[in-house]
Amino acid sequence: MRTWLFLVVGLGLAVFAPGLHAQGCALCYTSASAIGAAAERSLDVGILTLLTPALTLFAAVFYLLYRRAVSATAHAETAD
């Protein structure tokens, strides 16, 4: 019960925190909107290039956690 309370309060603070919704500065927005189509495409490719390793690591960690949980559940069922 206490864990759920902390989770709900933490998510509520994260959703309603004004600093989380203002992550783009005006200078970055102005610079990005003033570039041409080719530079815009390069910016998109750069963002995807930087995002790919982070998402791969994120997915790998959750896959390993899932595999470990399934293994523990199967081990507990065979012990009964």
Please state the pTM of the whole predicted model: 0.53
- The pLDDT tens digits for 26-59 are 777 788 788 888 888 998 899 899 999 999 999 9
How does pLDDT run across 2-15, given as a tens digit for each residue?
Answer: 788 888 888 877 77
Cα–Cα dist 37/80, whole Å: 63
Answer for the pair 27, 35: CB distance below 8 angstroms, yes or no.
no
In the chain, which ranges are E strands? none
